Each structure stands twice: as C-alpha cells, then as structure tokens.
C-alpha cells in the first residue's frame, strides 16, 4: 500500500509545529531513513491571531488558513493536520475549501478520552481564552458525559494567557521556567476544583507540562494528533 503524505498547516505557533513534527518522527517505527513518512510543512506564523479574531479584536485567520491548506494540497499532501487548537474553530469552512481531509484535533482527543480514560467524568481544561470561548472542547467532552473544569477569569487571563503570550511566554521566547511555573500552578488549582485529568487544550501547553508531572493523567492533543497522522499515513485503523 502506498503511504500517504502528511501536510502540516503550522506556524500557530512555530514551537507547537516543531513539537508535532518531532512527535510524528519519533512516533514512527523505522529501521532506516527511508522508512519515515513524507511530511510537508507550511510554517506560516503570519496567520492572524485566532483568539483575537474570536474576541472581535483582530482580523479573521480564515483566508490565510485556506491559502496554506490549498498550498499543501497543491504540493501533494494527502491530508492535513493543524497543530493549533483554536484554529479548529474554523474547521468546517476550511475543510470545505480543500478536497483532502483535515484531521480534527478535538475529535481525535475526545475519541482517546472516551476509549482510554474510563471512569473520568471531570477534566480540567487549560487553553487559550479563544478556545474556551468557542466551547470546542467543552461541547465535545459534554457529548461523552464529561464536565469541563475551568479556571476563573483572573487566573485564565493573568496565568494561562501570560504563560502562552506574555513577555516570558511560550509564544514569545519558547518554553521557560516562568511559563512552566504558571501552568503547573493552574493545574494544581484545577485539581483542587475536582479535575480527574488535565487537558492541555492549547498546543503550547505540552511544551511545559508532561505526563507524570501531576498525580492525574495529562492529555496531550499534539501527541494524539501525531498518532492519528501516523496511522492515517500508513493506512491503519484509527
């Protein structure tokens, strides 16, 4: 069977794009270079900020998302993956503009939770304000009987968004001790609110929060998207 070519619609941000690429490479069982999957990447950090657009404070990213998706399609990608959760707010209109499938990071994540985290009915969500406002994860989790535990507004804005966008945030300087501290602290707060697992609902979060660092499971959508991409590229059942 001919392997499928993966297209990564990236740049939102570049660190998350690197993380997805790395996890696909490291997650692919090979014996030599030629066994690896072919991957096309459009690392386009010029795509407008998704959270600002959702809040009505900036231009829509949809036009440039479509441009990047069509570029990957024209270059030969058989399907597309997007290492940005908030961008999935535009999933339906984006999918409608290309002929190749786009894997949905929210769908892949919720499928994993339903299959692997039986008995969990409260999950703490760490995500951008834009993702939280769209309800992407809350609605998907609710559909499988799971409640989303959210932070209050001051913690969301002054801790989570600071860890992602701040002067020492992941999008600014990459993973740092400051961003790691902030995310670990809000994780502990969510645990005290009753969370039985923590969902890294922004693709920058797994860069500073790893499985094993908390007494509950840490759900990494980027790892799950990488696994789904490998399976699809190799024609395996997902």
Give the residue numbers marked as catalytic. Answer: 84, 202
Q: How far is CA 97 from CA 51, 66, 94, 100, 225, in A?
A: 22, 7, 5, 9, 21
- Residue found by looking up tokens 């036009």 in the block: 63
């Amino acid at each position: 069977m001919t392997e499928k070519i993966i297209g990564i619609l990236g740049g939102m941000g570049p660190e998350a794009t690197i993380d997805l690429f790395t996890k696909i490479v490291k997650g692919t069982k090979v014996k030599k270079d030629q066994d690896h999957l072919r991957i096309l990447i459009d690392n386009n950090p010029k795509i407008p900020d998704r959270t600002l657009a959702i809040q009505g404070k900036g231009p829509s990213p949809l036009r440039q998302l479509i441009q990047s998706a069509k570029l990957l399609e024209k270059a030969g990608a058989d399907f597309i993956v997007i290492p940005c959760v908030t961008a999935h707010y535009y999933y339906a209109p984006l999918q409608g503009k290309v002929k190749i499938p786009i894997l949905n990071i929210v769908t892949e994540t919720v499928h994993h939770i339903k299959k692997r985290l039986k008995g969990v009915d409260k999950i703490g969500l760490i995500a951008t304000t834009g993702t939280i406002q769209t309800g992407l994860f809350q609605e998907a989790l609710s559909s499988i009987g799971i409640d989303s535990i959210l932070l209050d507004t001051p913690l969301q804005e002054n801790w989570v968004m600071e860890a992602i966008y701040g002067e020492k945030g992941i999008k600014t300087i990459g993973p740092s001790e400051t961003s790691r501290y902030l995310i670990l602290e809000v994780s502990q707060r969510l645990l005290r609110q009753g969370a039985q697992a923590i969902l890294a609902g922004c693709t920058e979060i797994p860069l500073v929060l790893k499985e094993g660092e908390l007494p509950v499971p840490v759900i990494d959508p980027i790892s799950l998207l990488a696994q789904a991409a490998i399976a699809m590229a190799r024609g395996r059942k997902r």
